[in-house]
Structure 1
Amino acid sequence: MTDIVILTPNPDDPSFAGQWPQVRDRLVSALATGGLAARSEAWTDHIDRADGLASADLVMPLVAWGYHRDHARWMRACATWQAVAVRMLNPPSVLGWNSDKSYLERLGAAGIPIPRTIWSAQITPEEVAAAFDAFGTDELVVKPRVSGGGWQTTRLARGEALSEAPDGPGLIQPFITALETEGELSLLFFGGRFSHAVRKRPRDGEFRIQQQFGGLYAPEPEPDPVAVALAGRVLATVEEELLYARIDLARGAGGQWLLMEAELIEPDFYLNHAPNGGEAFVAAVAGRLNR
């Protein structure tokens, strides 16, 4: 019998109490169709000691939400898991660097097209005001470098004051108008192979596409081959082994695809939109276990 562990938030955290059990159950059900048994553990219970994870055949941090609000302990946990060689995919090294959006700067330097970005140790109103002219735009997005689910993400028009800056390091980008019209394209990969794509659009009057803000999701049966190729280039920049990845893209002002996020920690796989309910995910897990 396999022993697969799915990492979740602390069950006592009210921020995620209504969501994570449902997401965990969908993953457990999908794995069960392939004869794979899985259980869950709170990542917050394994920060300084990983004894409870050491015997697992595979640990997946697929519901490890909340690290952006507890980033110092998250990084401590990643170091612990790596030091004792927990059988974890994606690996702890990836979970560390992928939790800070500054990885986008590295990918941009490697030739991956990303939105124009100003990186800041602490965003100030003066810095935001100067960014409008620096980008030649009338709308900006301000967000923390360590974030999730649209947390502390703000859209500003020229002349509008920044009422609350992100805690700690952040970034400023021109608002991408295509997000309101055609939305964002998510490309799902399992074991390095493309599985399926989902188009995500914001509801009327909203710019954030997350489901908690009313985002509208639909399958994209025939995604643009250029987008799929770009996603493949993104994955090729990662030196570590990846079991899963979600690559989020949007079109810039000139129609070019831009990398918004490479979600390698706890991405929603949108298995309800996947062919055969996510067989590719289950096959990738089984293949890793059988090696």
Structure 2
Amino acid sequence: MNPIYDVVILTDHRYLSDSKTDTYTRNVYYEDRLVYHALEQLGLRTLRLAWDDMFFDWSSTKAVLFRSTWDYFERFAEFSQWVESISKQTLLMNSGAIIRWNIDKHYLLELQKNNVPIAESHFIEKGAKVSLSQLHDILDWNETVLKPCISGAARHTYKLTSETLAAHEAIFQELIANEAMLLQPFQHNIVEKGEISMMVFNGSFSHAVLKKAKAGDFRVQDDFGGSVINYTPSEAEIDFAEACVKACPELPIYARVDVFEDNSGKIALSELELIEPELWFRYHPNAAMVLAKGIKQRIGA
């Protein structure tokens, strides 16, 4: 049977419909629709579905595009099994291999080996018998950020100081018993100057935004009141973003490269988002067509 669809855009069930009252849901829906209409304009038969739709035959589409599957880190085991299953039925964009690689923040160590400057990082493996105070003494770090190696939307992300270690010890022990964690020095320039997100399609820079945390917070995500504005990166920043993407095990069709100025004043990679990142199409609607053209080329339509 020939596939009925060329591309299925993946979301999660919370964002299947538009909302007149919730701005966050409206933004998700609007950006996915921009991609949908760009694909349709190129003559591609397109559908938008929740990734866990039980009734859809995934072999009936040439490809699936991960866009807003933002419950995957809360249902990681189920999501992983699903990715493994549908990767045998259709083309994944980005691929199943790069998703499995990128979903765990240990990928940062591989990029570092490929000469990509990353935030100074210490990984604490699942089941480790260590306390937060011991870690801070060993590493000689005073202010830090603790986060899971598999996470999203700042899930269990905590800013720590010597005064707050004891208060976070119980949750740390609960977390480390079940999953690996990452500890990094607190980056003051992210708070003061913000974090730059650069979108890269098929290895080439497209557009960028600057994200800044609200006063009194350190998380730049707009979920927590952060602000977002258009940003024009320097040539050096663009070169850095493209080099990060080219250091991946394979070239992703889309990537969001989050960079910042570290405590020593040098550019460094915060995160390389290859699974379902927000790509800020509402600030750059024409970029949806850039992605759509890359998808059409990738599937040979």
Same fold (TM over 0.5): yes
CA distance in 1, matches of 2:278, 2:207: 12
C-alpha deviation, 1:80, in angstroms: 1.2
Hey, what does 1:139 align to over in structure 2?
Answer: 143
Following the alignment from structure 1 to structure 2, what is the Cα–Cα distance between the partners of residues 259 and 195? 18
Identity percentage of aligned residues = 27
**Could you tell me which residue of structure 2 aligns to residue 102 of structure 1?**
106
User: What is the CA RMSD across the aligned residues, in angstroms?
Assistant: 2.8
SS state of the match for residue 290, structure 2?
A: helix
- Match for residue 184 of structure 2? 173
- Of 128-137 and 258-267, deviating more is 128-137
- 1:61-210 → structure 2 map (5 Å cutoff): 61-84=66-89, 86-122=90-126, 126-160=130-164, 161=166, 162-163=168-169, 164-165=171-172, 166=175, 167-210=178-221
* Maintained 8 Å contact 2:9/2:36: no
Q: Does 1:57 align with 2:68?
A: no
1:236 Cα deviation from its structure 2 partner: 1.3
Q: Do 1:108 and 1:114's aligned partners in 2 also have CA atoms closer than 8 Å?
A: yes
Residues 1:281 and 2:286 aligned together: no
Residue number in structure 2 paired with 1:270: 280
What is the rounded CA distance, in whole Å, between the counterparts of 1:242 and 1:98 in structure 2?
11
Q: Contact 1:141–1:173 at 8 Å: present in 2 too?
A: yes
Q: Partner amino acid for 2:12?
A: P
Asked if the contact 2:5/2:47 (under 8 Å) is kept, the reply is no
Residues 25-81 of structure 1: CA distance to partner in whole angstroms, max 9, x if unpaired? Answer: 4222343145155322222236xxx96221213210111111111211222122212
Task: Kindly provide the amino acid, as one letter, of the partner of residue 72 in structure 1.
Answer: A
Any conservation in 1 of the 2:9–2:49 contact (CA below 8 Å)? yes
The separation in 2 between residues aligned to 1:149 and 1:234, in whole angstroms, is 22
Which deviates further from its counterpart, 211-220 or 61-70?
61-70
Structure 2 portions without partners, runs of 5+: 17-21
> CA shift at 1:214, angstroms?
0.6
Q: Return closer, same or farther for 1:198/1:10 CA change in 2, 3 Å cut-off.
A: same
- Between the aligned partners of 1:286 and 1:156, the Cα distance in structure 2 is 46
Q: Secondary structure at the match of 1:44?
A: coil
Q: CA deviation at 1:11?
A: 4.3
Q: 1:188-267 residue pairs with structure 2 within 5 A?
A: 188-221=199-232, 223-267=233-277
Letter in structure 2 aligned against 1:201: K
Q: Does structure 1 retain, via aligned residues, the 8 Å contact 2:196–2:210?
A: yes
CA positional deviation for 1:290: 4.1
- Deviations along 1:148-199, one digit per CA (max 9) or x if unpaired, are 0100000011231225223521111101001111110111011221101111
Is contact 1:180-1:202 (8 Å) kept?
A: yes
1:7, 1:40 within 8 Å by CA — same for their partners in 2?
yes
Q: Which structure 1 segments of 5+ residues have no match?
A: none
Q: Which residue of 2 aligns with 1:9?
A: 12
Change in CA separation of 1:51 and 1:241 when aligned onto 2, cut-off 3 Å: farther
Matched residue SS, 1:271: coil
Q: What is the distance in 1 between the residues matched to 2:81 and 2:275?
A: 15
Change (3 A) 1:125 1:215: farther
Q: CA deviation at 1:202?
A: 0.2
Secondary structure of the structure 1 residue equivalent to 2:278? coil
CA distance in 1, matches of 2:285, 2:33: 17
Matched to 2:70, the amino acid is W
SS of residue matched to 2:297 = helix
* Number of residue pairs aligned between Structure 1 and Structure 2: 284
Q: Partner of 1:112: helix, strand, or coil?
A: coil
Match of 2:19 in 1: none
Paired residue type of 2:147: K
CA contact (8 A) 2:7 2:45 kept: yes
Are the equivalent residues in 2 in contact too, given 1:250–1:258 (CA < 8 A)? yes
Whole-angstrom distance in 2 between the partners of 1:74 and 1:2: 22
1:45 partner SS: coil
Aligned letter for 2:143? E
Contact persistence 1:82–1:93 (CA under 8 A): no
How far, CA to CA, are the matches of 1:52 and 1:4 in structure 2? 13
Quick one: distance in 2 between partners of 1:24 and 1:45? 17
